[in-house]
Every structure is written in structure tokens, then in C-alpha cells.
Amino acid sequence: MARLAVATAMSAALVVLSVSVGAVPIPPGDVLAVVAHHLLGTTAVPDPITDQIVWDIRLPRALLGVLVGGSLAVAGTALQAMVRNPLADPYVLGVSSGASLAAVAVLLSGVAVGGAPVQIAAFLGALAALLAVSLLAGARGTLPPLRLVLAGVALSYALSGTTSYLIFASDDPQAAQSVLFWLLGSLGPARWESLGVPAAALVLGCGWLLARAPALDAMVLGDEPAATLGFAAGRLRRELLVVSSLVTGVVVAVSGGIGFVGLMIPHLVRLLTGPTHARLLPLATVVGAGYLVAVDVVARTVNAPVEVPLGVVTSVLGAPVFLWLLRSRMRADR
């Protein structure tokens, strides 16, 4: 509980930091004043321009970062329980690529990023990719680590290749350019209106997983041990498939492909909490949220004024962690 409070406070501080950093630096005190003005009706407004920058532009973006980071951590936790494998995450398994391909197909037909058709397409794409990778990796629900990762990577390449083809074959270079940037991960288009669906998906996904926490704990042991503890693993796995696809699809629809967050965060948090989901899930959500807000700050400042795609930053930070995990897991399997 104490850990969760500390993590929440740190993530909140990162949100304030994220809002104060930018082309026009705004002192954290002013950020808090604007937020207090809007939420509590306090009268002390710094000035209209500060108010506009904070409330209309930067805060929605930071909060979208919170939702995206939290959702990716939740999706990663769910997938890791589902395939009983800590190497799983939406990106590694090709789920993000499936969502991206479906979303790009819709986007190139002229629909705006974050719109309902894109979200639905991304969800269906994620679901299809997850089904495909499960079938490819095979072996009755239990997916051996290496086979799973190989199947995911192969599927990921195939889907990304198709996505690239769609983009380059597009006859609207403007749209292609913006889709390409979105694909690498960005919180750019954030507005207050675009927060609703991701927030609902996160609350729904996290709530469902928390309600099923004991079943997830048992399922990690294997389908048969779970059965001896009174849980039907088959049904649970199908539910997990839908929930993690939903959360991943919604996130990809608003922010593109951001890799390794769903892999890294649950694993690191598990080192603190152990694998019990009732403790792991809330902390992973909060840490994931804070992490992505921090990544967004880095993405905006490292090459300012040009913004680096978020997926670039998370990959540079996440790939080494992934490799380290792969190495230590394989050693443990011998």
C-alpha cells in the first residue's frame, strides 16, 4: 500500500513536470494554480496564455500519457499471465502490429486519429494478431518462451511489412507522412475529448483483471493446477484474449506503436511485489503511467524543438531490458 502511494505521488509529480516543460517553460507552481482553478474554482489564474497552454494543450497530453502507459502495463501483465511467460507484451507478440495494420488501413481512408472507426479497427486487428500468434506458437495453451517470441516476431514483421506497403502505396503523401509519425508512437493529437475512450478501456481492463486476480495467480501455474484450484483456465484465457486486445487496440488507436512498456514495467514491478496479481496490477498500472509521462518529457526535450517519436525512446530504453530478460529466462529454463 505504501509503495502504491509513493508510486502515485511520483507519477503525479511527473505529470506536473511534463506540463511545465516545453517551448514556453511554466513554473510548477503556475501549473498547479491552473489545475486548482479549473478543478476547485479558485480564482488565482496566472494569465490566459499560461492557462491555455497548461489546460488545453499540455495537460491533456500528459494525461493521455498516463492512460497509455497504464494501459500498456495492464495489457502486458494480462498477456504475461495468459501465455504464462514474462517475455510477453503487446509489442513482442505482434499484437500492436496487428492493431497498427488495421488502424492504418482505416486511417489512410481519411479518418482522423483517435476516432471510433480507428479504435474498433485496432481492437479487431489486435484480436486477430493475438489469435494468430497463439495458433502459430501452438502446444495446447502453454507457449514455450522461445517459440512464442519467434512466432510473435515473425508475425510482427509480416504485419509491419504490410503496413509499410499500405503507407507507400497511398496516393496521399500528406496522410502517409502523418500516419508514419503516429505509427512510431506519439501523444501529439491529445485533446480532452480524446481521453474518454482510453480512460474507459483502462478502468474496464484493470477492473476486470483485479476481479480475476486469484484466478490469474492460479493460471500462472498451468491449466491443470488451476483446475485443481477450481478455475477453468480455458474460459479465463479467452476472456484475457479479449481484454488485452481491447486495451492494446484502444491504446494503439490513440498513440501508435509504443514498444516494450508492457514488457518492462510488469516485470520490474514483479521484483517488488511478487507475482500476486492483486498487488502487481495496481502498482504496475501506476508505474507504467509515470514511466510513459517521463518518456514523453524525454521525447520532447532530447532533440528540441523537434519531437522524437515515443516508440523510439521506449525501444532504446526497453530493448536492453528485454535482452537481459531473455538471457536470464533461458538460463533459468536449463
Partner 1 sequence: MSLDIAGLHVALGGRDVVDGVDLAVDDGELVGLIGPNGSGKTTLLRTVYRALRPHAGRVLVDRDDVWALPPRESARRTAAVLQEGGDGFDYDVGEFVALGRAPLRERGGHPETVRAVAEALDRVGLAGAEHRLVASLSGGERQRVLLARALAQRPRLLVLDEPTNHLDVRHQLDLVAMVRALGLTTLLTLHQLDLAAWCDRLVVLDGGRVVADGTPAEVLTPQTVAAVFDVDAAVVTHPRTGRPHLLFSTPDLERSHPCRTLPMPPSTAPPPTATASPTATTTGSAPPPTSTTPSRS
Interface residue list for partner 1 (CB under 8 A): 214-215, 217-218, 220-225, 227-232, 270, 274-276, 278-279, 332
Nearest distance in Å: CB 141, partner 1: 12
35 versus 210: smaller Cβ distance to partner 1: 210
User: What's the rounded Cα separation, in Å, for the pair 110 and 254?
Assistant: 15
Cα–Cα distances (Å) from 164 to 101, 105, 172, 177, in that order, read: 9, 11, 14, 11
Are the C-beta atoms of 227 and 233 separated by less than 8 Å?
Answer: yes
Asked if the bond preceding 173 is cis, omega within 30° of 0, the reply is no
Residue 327: CB minimum distance to partner 1, A = 17
Which is closer to partner 1, CB of 166 or CB of 227?
227
* Residue 33 near residue 13 (C-beta atoms within 8 A): no
Integer angstrom CA distances of residue 84 from 79, 138, 142, 264, 307: 8, 13, 7, 16, 37
Nearest to partner 1 of 173, 274 (CB atom): 274
Least distance in Å: CB of 77 to partner 1?
Answer: 13
Taking alpha carbons only, the member of 8, 57, 62 closest to residue 310 is 62
CB of 233 to partner 1, least distance (A): 9
Q: How near is the Cβ of 278 to partner 1 at its closest, in Å?
A: 6
Q: 196 or 207, CB closer to partner 1?
A: 207
Nearer to partner 1, 58 or 270 (CB): 270
Q: Are 304 and 195 in contact (CB under 8 A)?
A: no
* Long-range residue pairs from 117-121, CB within 8 A, at least 24 positions apart, any chain: 118/253, 119/197, 119/249, 119/250, 119/253, 119/254, 121/253
- Give me the least distance between CB of 249 and partner 1, in Å please: 28
Cβ distance to partner 1 smaller for residue 124 or 210: 210
